[in-house]
A and B are shown apart, each in its own frame.
Chain A
């Protein structure tokens, strides 16, 4: 078993670690990760000199880290002798991509629920229904990987997801949907639902005003993936706690939109800088 007393370093060891003491921090690992972070779609090729300058390390030290990253499959050298990210870089976070939306969304949902004192949820469209894939209940820190199904037409998250469908797909679903009455204000006419979906696209968020059940209101906004499509919706749901629609929108629309934007960026959306 290996027990390394100190971190191996290049000649320029004076740069302090961010917050942790040296004994609990590997500066070499920090620099290796920093090298990978230098690469962006706008700067896909970098030479040793450029990396050394950006990291504030000597060329010799940088070269050693780069050689290690090449041997590990995270970087590769091209014909110009510069380095670019290799396919191994994709593997680094692949497990996180595969763990689903709930993992990406959890911290943001927790923050939204904590600030608002209402339940924060995330759902995807699954045909005519929504599939609730994550939920943080009001007053708790517990996040639930729920798989609850609800009708899309009478939930704020469902209306967001229907609203942002391509028009052909939206028309197809609306021609198939049975608008069953679930709450005192469920929309039961396709024409009325169509008008409301237009409003959702204009406003950027959707409201459920006792459409799913009496006493429950909700507000939701779209989560976009790297393609820009709305692939999920974040909702704030009151579950019987009294609040009027105007107050719900006035107090929480901004927070819900911000939460949805943050989750979107985590899953690769590089959109309009909302």
Chain B
């Protein structure tokens, strides 16, 4: 059993579930296609055992067959995440606001929270302006990035520090935080944190191609729209902050 899997096993734990879910976790953006031999090696189980879990996931629609008898994630794997997001009041409230922001700017817009050292994107709506789609490769709703490498993460960290009485850094007078190439070398991000009951709960972020928009154009041209969107989301966020920021 792998270190990650064995650490979770206790008396009241289903070993099969731990193996099965550990297997599913091996399918990542970097390694989207996996074969039985490598899955068996990662899980430290025999190939027939790995095959049994993969076959079960295949049968239930969580995996699908890829060429050369390998496997990749299938559509059922996204359903628990969609159900989770659909149950969050914060996400439900943010959807029309993000949608309007995307429609008015043509840019990719997202809602993010802090989850440990990461930023977790609860929503990412891809823009339709020139260069936006190609920036989204490897990202999407549910993606994580180190908090310090994104505008949203920087905004949340700054707001968290401010709530603890620290002097916020990297944040302008209007509450906007810029990231230049941290999320992706070709990308530029602008974010603002949503603070409810004195605590940062989430952040809204706009992402643009650096080649098409300077930092000044982004801040000056879209900063006010971003702040208005954040204001709309802030109104009434207090009631759902607890569940939304459970891991923040």
Contact = CB atoms under 8 A, between A and B. Distances in A.
What are the nearest 5 A-B pairs in CB distance?
Answer: A127-B130, A41-B86, A93-B78, A94-B142, A29-B20
Given A69-B17, A168-B104, A2 B49 contact: yes
Given A24-B51, A25-B59, A36-B80, A87 B20 contact: no
A41 B104 CA distance: 28
Interface residues of A, number: 75
A168 B144 CA distance: 33
Interface in A138-189: 147, 161, 165-166, 168-169
Interface string A44-65: 1000000000000000000111
Contacts of B62: 33
Given A93-B73, A97-B140, A97-B142, A126 B132 contact: yes
A268 B49 contact: no
Interface residues of B, number: 81
A89 B16 contact: no
A168 to B, nearest CB: 7
A98 B18 contact: no
Interface in B54-84: 55-57, 59-60, 62, 72-84
Contact of A90 (B28, B120, B130): B120
Interface of A: 1-4, 7-8, 17-20, 23-26, 28-30, 32-33, 36-37, 39-41, 44, 63-65, 67-69, 71-72, 74, 76, 84-87, 89-100, 103-104, 124-129, 131, 133, 147, 161, 165-166, 168-169, 225-229, 231, 266, 268
A72 B81 CA distance: 15
Interface in B27-43: 27-29, 32
A97 B132 contact: no
Interface string B83-103: 111110000000110110011
Contact of A92 (B24, B106, B136): B24
Given A8-B14, A33-B62, A96-B75, A91 B128 contact: no
A169 B60 CA distance: 42
Nearest to A231: B126
Given A3-B48, A65-B14, A95-B29, A166 B131 contact: no
B235 interface: no
Given A1-B46, A44-B87, A96-B75, A29 B131 contact: no
Identify the interface centre among B32, B77, B80, B139: most chain A CB within 10 Å of its CB. Answer: B80
A127 B103 CA distance: 13
B9 to A, nearest CB: 9
B77 A93 contact: yes
A97 B99 contact: no
A85 B14 CA distance: 18
Contacts of A168: 104
A85 to B, nearest CB: 4
B52 A68 contact: no
Given A86-B246, A87-B247, A125 B128 contact: yes
